[in-house]
Amino acid sequence: MNLVTIAFKSIKQRALASSLTALSVALGVMLMVAVLVIFGILNRTFGQNAIFYDLIVGPKGSDLQLVLSTVYRVSPPIENLPYSYYKDLLEHPAVAEAVPIALGDVTEEGGFPIVGTNERFFELPYAPNEEFLLRGHGFEDPFDAIIGDQVAYKNGWDIGSQFKLVHGGQESDHVHNEKFTVVGIIKQTGTPNDKTVFIHLNGFYSIADHNKPVKEYVDRFRKFYTIVPGSDKDLELQEIEEAAAKVAPGAHYHGPSTDVTKEITSVLVRMKRPAGDPPDAPSIAAPLFASRLKKGFQAQGINPIIPMKRLLDNVVGNIQKGLVVMTTLIIIVSGVSIFVSIYNSMADRRREIAIMRALGASRQAVFTIILAESILLCFGGGLFGLLLGHGLVFVAAPIVASQTGLLIDPFAFETIEFVIVPSLIVLASIVGFIPGTTAYRTDVAEAIAD
């Protein structure tokens, strides 16, 4: 019978106490694994190239607010851009793709955010090597709508369903009269697109009150552009002012939808790349283009990864570190409970140890048996905790997906988990050292006599 088998039989003799101490280790490891896996998924989702575009162009202001509103739709937009500026970006020689985004309103049912855009949004990848998959078809009519998987599930909508929009937010009671028809449903992407309703940009502009008062538009146009007499922008401004003169002060323009009355919230920009560069290679032109925007216009171009990484590092990262520290302390306390359990059992086992010594067991063998008990309890509890942790992630994955639209791979594994079991063995060796030393020093004659 080898020493590990003897240690295992000794643990079985104290089954209840041993199970409880191992369970405490398992619970600590379970929490640590769940924290590591979930935050690892968050880091990959928000900290890497989780978006196909190089820049988000929008009004000057908070870069984080621009990303949260445009990509994640959890923050109100800063302001609007003139529609003509989007057309300028389309024609810029360094720009490969420019996709307009117009935010505003929510669905009457469920309060899902409305995004006005064009068909190009769905023709391009939403992330590197990740294409949109639609059931149904894309935009064909101004009042067509494409909805995310979670919108369809929660509202019970399907192809052909019709809905209305609520102006300004779910708390508003101003329901627009226009009805939109679902023509496409996006297959689950694990992104905020799953909880978003997309409508055709022309349909967005056709909704009452979605055009600003012309006077307000004129003022914004003047602030945004540097008007040079005789330039194209000067001629465009004259056209706008002519339209403004025909509309009462403060009134909205209700005529045909023209560029004069249009505004957008932001533009998703993909820069051109040198021939031969892989499509997912970082754009060299993007930082230069963004710096020029800051100098030339009342706009900003933001790499969406930068503010999100800053948020992760400064806020989410600190929460993760706090939770990891807390779960580490739980595991250490569990190790202490193993120490207490084994150490308290030493008084009852002095005679048992003495008999083993009398039968020929060396001091080193006795020390090894006690140390093996500690390692078996920590190792077994750690393995069980790994299974429980991934089981917890497996159970939480569909719940998180339904609440946030974030896809969590239930089989996700973080490389740092490889450190957990070796760390537990080190902890077990430290914990088992003192009881092992006590067993090592047991006086055979005295213990048998007692």
Instruction: Indicate the residue type of 309.
Output: K
CA end-to-end distance (rounded Å), the chain:
27
For residue 435, being part of any structural domain is answered with yes
Q: What is the DSSP letter of 261?
A: G
The verdict on 314 and 277 lying in the same domain is no
Task: Please indicate, yes or no, if residue 236 is contained in any of the structural domains.
Answer: no
- From the number of C-beta atoms within 10 Å of its C-beta (0-12, 13-18, 19+), residue 146 rates as buried
Q: What's the pLDDT score for residue 99?
A: 96
Residue 142: per-residue pLDDT: 92
Of 100, 98, 241, 111, give the one whose Cα is nearest residue 168: 111
Residue at 356 is within a domain: yes
Query: What is the per-residue pLDDT for 21?
Result: 84
The verdict on residue 231 lying in a domain is no
pLDDT value for 216: 72
pLDDT of residue 257: 44
For residues 12 and 91, state if they share a domain. no
The per-residue pLDDT of the chain, averaged, comes to: 81
Same domain, 296 and 318: no
99 and 59 in one domain?
yes
Residue 18 structure tokens: 């041993």
Q: Which parts of the chain sit beneath pLDDT 50?
A: 250, 253-257
Cα–Cα distance, 225 to 215 (Å, whole number): 16
Residues 394 and 294 in one domain: no
**Do 37 and 144 fall into the same domain?**
no
Residues 6+ apart with CB under 8 A from 302: 55, 56, 57, 58, 63, 66, 67, 290
User: What pLDDT, on the 0 to 100 scale, is given for residue 133?
Assistant: 94
Are 354 and 407 members of one domain? yes
Mark whether 357 and 295 lie in a shared domain: no
Q: Based on the structure, what is the number of domains in the chain? A: 2
pLDDT for 255 equals: 45
CA 325 to centroid of chain Cα atoms = 22
Identify whether 219 is part of a domain: no
**Structural domain boundaries, residue 327:** 3-46+310-449
Residue 402 and residue 269 in one domain: no
For residues 200 and 118, membership in a common domain is answered with: yes
pLDDT score for 317: 72
Specify the pLDDT at position 163: 94
If asked whether residues 429 and 384 sit together in one domain, one would say yes
Q: In sequence order, which residues have a C-beta less than 8 Å from that of residue 149 and are 6 or more positions away?
A: 185, 186, 187, 188, 189, 194
- Bridge partner residues of 266 (DSSP): 101
Q: Which of 246, 276, 303 is the last residue of a domain?
A: 303
Spatial CB neighbours of 229, under 8 Å, sequence gap ≥ 6: none
Q: Tell me whether residue 223 is in a domain.
A: no
Domain endpoint, select from 271, 303, 335: 303
User: What per-residue confidence (pLDDT) applies to 295?
Assistant: 72
Among candidate residues 303, 329, 353, the one where a domain is terminated: 303
- Please tell me the predicted confidence (pLDDT) of residue 97: 93
Within a domain: 240: no
Specify whether 11 is located in the same domain as 105.
no
How much is the pTM? 0.73
Domain assignment present for 124: yes
pLDDT at 256: 43
The three-class DSSP label of residue 115 is strand
